[in-house]
Amino acid sequence: MSVWSKIMTALRGSANEVGEAIADTQALRILDQEIHDAEEDLGNSRDSLTEMMARQKVAEQKCTTMNAEISKFEEYAIQVLEQNDESLALDLAEKISDMEKQRKTEQAAYDDYTDNVNNLRNAIKQADANIKHLKHQLNSVRATESVQRTQAAVAQRHSDSNAKLTTALDSLERIKEKQELKNARYDAAQELADELANDSLTNKLEAAGIVSNDTDGEAVLARLKNKVTLRIESGKHLNEKN
């Protein structure tokens, strides 16, 4: 693979990472909006449930009232029959029949409202649980992302600190080497100065005739003879004392 191909592959990889990062960010925003919309729909559903429950109560009240009315007219019919008034009893029976038909309609409406209320209540309960679950997941993802960003920042700072520390240690070693070199120079200079001073002093003593720089055989022989003479004289001195 050529260098140019490698560069293009690296660029495509970077573009994919950027694209995925943007998509992930947008996904969180979309999920946020979906949750917001779902909460609005849930609020509307609760309003609808409240309205339906009110209608259910009205239908129930109508059924209760009609049951009472039917019971009342049945009692009238029984009293009329006890009086052997067949014609009036028939009129009352037809009235009761109409009321029962109306009650059947109202009962059907009440049953429908009851079923719808139960279904809508269950749907609202499920939707509310789903929204809470989505919120929990979203908060968990965001919390994890925040922790990972913090960890990445800490790791980066730690890496930067290590790099800075390494650079500082390198600088410290260079400073110590320079200081040691300076000390060595000072020591060498002092040693050289001492040597020069000693040479100068020796020269002055030689010039004064106090010391001699002769190192030939005659000088060495004279020095040895002088030592022999000193030993002989020292021996004689000891014998005289004894």
Give the tens place of pLDDT for each residue, 2-58. 444 544 455 455 545 555 555 566 777 888 888 888 888 889 989 999 999 999 999
- The number of distinct structural domains making up the chain is 2
As given in the structure block, the two tokens for residue 118 are: 């139960």
Q: Is residue 191 part of a domain?
A: no
* Same domain assignment for residues 236 and 171: no
Residue 110: burial class (beta carbons within 10 Å; 0-12, 13-18, 19+) = buried
Q: Is residue 202 part of a domain?
A: no
The residues near 212 (Cβ < 8 Å, ≥ 6 apart) are 206, 219
Give the tens place of pLDDT for each residue, 130-174. 888 888 888 888 888 778 888 877 777 766 666 676 777 777 788
- What is the domain extent for residue 235? 215-242
User: Contact, 61 vs 106, CB < 8 A?
Assistant: no
* Portion of the chain with pLDDT greater than 70, in percent: 71
Q: What sign results for the dihedral spanned by CA atoms 191, 193, 199, 205?
A: negative
* Same domain assignment for residues 106 and 221: no
Residue whose pair of structure tokens reads 């009086």 in the numeric block: 83
